[in-house]
Amino acid sequence: MTTITIEEAKQLDQKDTLANYRNEFYIKEGQIYLDGNSLGLLSKRAEQALLGSLQDWKEHGIDGWTEGKQPWYTFSETLGEMTAPLLGAESDEVIVTGSTTINLHQLVATFYQPTGKRTKILADELAFPSDIYALQSQLKLKGYDPDEHLIRVQSRDGRTLEEDDIIAQMTDEIAMIVLPSVLYRSGQLLDLARLTEEAHKRGIVIGFDLAHSIGAIAHSFNEYEPDFAFWCNYKYLNSGPGGVGGLYVNKRHFGTVPGIAGWFSSNKQKQFDMEHTLTHADTAGAFQIGTPHVLSLAPLKGSLEMFQEVGIHSIREKSLQLTAFLIKLIEQELVDHGFTIANPRENHRRGGHVSLEHEDAASICKALKDKGVIPDYRSPNVIRLAPIALYSSYEEVWKSVQILKDIMDNGLYQQYENTRNIIA
């Protein structure tokens, strides 16, 4: 095998048409940030957008809701419209509101309608815990025992799911399916089109958690039209810690009464009539609940402007090239060090991060951090590495692998306890 040199990495950077976007971000000197799948970095435009909303507040007080440069009253709708192209969705099918978990609660409260023997919810055993907790609590609220009514598709290898196994579980007892687009540990991308088609053939409502795909992968929801989706914006969309999330509801469900209603579910013209009978919006906006968290919405505007300029297809293309480059380097440099590459290799089956398994993953991550490479650790044995299309370079990917190789060759990780920190 011919060795990949740093010159090759530099050449890839020179040819990279997105390379300039790196200058739009605050990147710490001497650090290589590979954790944008957990918390994306701050961009200058996101910062400006936040300062803009503060300025509107300064200048307009209460009138900022309607008179500011970026009026707060319709901010969630504006951002939904800007997000829609990332999903291949219609503008009014998307709203920026809530959080991943809150939006899941809302969508299950709305679309989980058990009837006859169709009472069960299908998820998977590798799902992010918060999603499972939300499903369990929604089942309880409807009077069902989650142990019986939450079905979890099993993984054959502990990392990935087989679409065939999921489809085999789409029985006439299933009322709703909730699955991730990209699995948060292994980075597997599921075939959302096929799963949607198979669910709909059987009369089952299906929705997806896009936390690990939005901003990394182009979706074409207009083609296969899942019922709903939800996500956070602070990962690949760089909206900042605690940034407001988003949801998608397919237009055929417009007019459905929100399961969890509040005055921001209202038709915007009617909202201030202050009636006790809700006239809900006839768009995805109906699934908002209360006053938007304006200062946690604002950064997303600046960030989405860059996604608009670049287009999600170019971002996906570069992301695939970055992760392919990383995988190749890992195979070249780290063969005998006990790593397993846990993500699928095919482009159409992998998301935006590389998933490395190692029995000493926790201590290796600590060593990486001390050497200026910021990875992401998931207990007990997963290291996630996410080079980000808008701000990571091929040279950084190359250097990260060299640093990891040094850590392994010299056993540097052995100085650290192989246990997770509070946040990992």
Ligand X SMILES: *Cc1c(COP(=O)(O)O)cnc(C)c1O
Nearer to ligand X, 76 or 363 (CB): 76
Nearest-5° Cα angle at 271, 266 to 274: 120
Nearer to ligand X, 80 or 180 (CB): 180
Structure tokens at 370: 């001390």
Provide, rounded to whole angstroms, the least separation between the CB of residue 195 and ligand X: 16
Provide, rounded to whole angstroms, the least separation between the CB of residue 263 and ligand X: 22
Q: How far is CA 34 from CA 107, 187, 273, 275, 365, in A?
A: 32, 14, 49, 50, 11
Provide, rounded to whole angstroms, the least separation between the CB of residue 424 and ligand X: 13
Provide, rounded to whole angstroms, the least separation between the CB of residue 235 and ligand X: 6
Provide, rounded to whole angstroms, the least separation between the CB of residue 134 and ligand X: 9
Q: How far is CA 100 from CA 8, 105, 242, 419, in A?
A: 39, 9, 11, 28
Provide, rounded to whole angstroms, the least separation between the CB of residue 102 and ligand X: 6
Provide, rounded to whole angstroms, the least separation between the CB of residue 224 and ligand X: 20
The answer to whether 111 and 205 are in contact (CB under 8 A) is yes
Nearer to ligand X, 77 or 131 (CB): 131
Tell me the torsion sign for CA atoms 177, 178, 181, 183.
negative
C-alpha 93, offset from chain centre: 18
Across the strands, what pairs with 229?
A: 208, 248
Nearer to ligand X, 78 or 99 (CB): 99
SS3 state of residue 216: coil
Q: Which residues bind ligand X (CB under 6 A)?
A: 99-101, 128, 130-131, 180, 184, 209, 211-212, 232, 245
* CA distance linking residue 105 with residue 22, whole number of Å: 36
Nearer to ligand X, 9 or 153 (CB): 153
Structure tokens at 10: 């530099």
Nearer to ligand X, 135 or 412 (CB): 135
Provide, rounded to whole angstroms, the least separation between the CB of residue 343 and ligand X: 15
DSSP sequence for 301-337: HHHHHHHHHH-HHHHHHHHHHHHHHHHHHHHHH-GGG
Provide, rounded to whole angstroms, the least separation between the CB of residue 282 and ligand X: 26
Burial of 246 (0-12, 13-18, 19+ CB in 10 A): buried
* CA distance linking residue 31 with residue 374, whole number of Å: 7
Provide, rounded to whole angstroms, the least separation between the CB of residue 233 and ligand X: 9
Q: Which of 94, 118, 46, 128 is nearest to 295 (CA)?
A: 46
The answer to whether 403 and 372 are in contact (CB under 8 A) is yes
Instruction: List, in order, residues 6 or more apart from 163 with CB less than 8 Å away.
Output: 190, 191, 194, 195
DSSP secondary structure code for residue 365 in this structure: H
